[in-house]
A and B are shown apart, each in its own frame.
Chain A
């Protein structure tokens, strides 16, 4: 029973009830419904409550991580390849846009700035990232397990370093700034951008702006919806089946006619192409691309999001990305100030008084605990839910299969 037939059955009043009841019992369907409703309501509610679109901008940034997590999930969750250098493809996507849509190339031996439109470069960046994924994968995907992880780790270190050291082209540590904002040929202005309702045309009026993040937010939501549909289709196709087979048993997959190296290469390239999208978007929104933004910590953060959410399950990794983004970029950043205010409000003012050479004051102290708190949250979550917040049904069984009665004869470790 596939999604398509369910959608079609919704049209039939008799079947509608059955389909809706099935969906109401499916955690993934519930997660998608909640995520979509939340995504639609979020900009309005947060702007209404805080009086500024700051949170909408933050949510648009979170979207980049969601996108990266969905992409890495194809590599790690579907095909079972541990990629510790995923940020490299993100960097390649970001630098592709930064070079092709900024004054930067005017400062290089080319002496001619290139300003291609965002919508074109988005796909150029995707293909460049996918190409580099294939390029890295071609010599390395013969490796299995841990060896592949080490190679990707090395790749993830090399790529940002190249961007840092090739300063003739990339500006090195000075980063690339003044990157073009995307713009539409036609758009509608209205109360949401504090304008009277009107249709306007052209680059000046219809440019995305860092200060007006709603446009970025809307685009990000559309991008994620599109990529989720694509990734779900892939998972349910012959390719998704082959990835799963390679993850379970490469030898058996080959006996079914699966070109194991080719199919892994494809997973790598598709995963990389998602981060190509993410990179181009990121470069445009920040308007600045620096080699410092693509370190090992980025690769690990995305991997944590995938594992935390539930490897191999698309709504799971979306939830994982959002939760971990919230912990990293909101909860922990606000925590010191919140701790200070809490101490003040319950009458423990003395905690906020720092003594020279001794107690630094509660706010500073809590700020220093940042990494410990992150680590603790992760350890606790993994102990309570090793399969992730919203695991795929298969993965859940794999983790608990010792409890099931073994029916088959024990398998020997030989081919």
Chain B
């Protein structure tokens, strides 16, 4: 496996995962806003924070109206994490390794790109939004499913999985960080709606059903945080993702260092009683997790990716 190809596979899958996560996030926010009374509604602003583009957004926007924020999240050309930009990057990267990607997978990525681009109006309208986003999520699942079922499960596959899972862990931590922050500050006044907001957090991670099955308790703050951070069985929990990352790199050559950095992150995460973390402390801890994730990415790049011209 060429280093350049391994690196590209990693990014293709990371971009698709990102597009899927952003689509899911918008969808859930959309549904949540229908349930919340106007006065307490947090609108679209938190989403801009979750994907970490507030600064870039503020350069060209003065408010967070639905039209503007949505356009920015879906197809904003100045938003590196917009769905369209993620899919475009995935497609452009995939083009450079078309020889290693199964034909069907390439065709699906290609069709998804045209779909997102040609139907962007649908995504902005209230009526078309749900179908537009659902199609993106379905298509991402189809791409990963087709990859899983048709590509050789060799080293290249490790990079595909790694890109997807590290992005997933990153997104889970971001969602938890921003959502809980906005929720907690308003704790008293929004009491009646507290519950549905935590449910919405779970839903943006597709975690609601699994939470019910696994935790067997009503939806409440401490348990939700525990579940999305520490669950050993839910595939989007941060701990689950980190264990996955470790299992993935174990069979790779020269992986001692990166395994150590993942191990350290796991120990740090496992030993933390996250249930009791309040506002600031939770945020600080999530910061640490994100730094760990960045470190894991750098370790991978350092060891396996193509070095810039020596």
- B is a partner of A: no
- Give the A-binding residues of B (Cβ under 8 A): none
- Give the B-binding residues of A (Cβ under 8 A): none
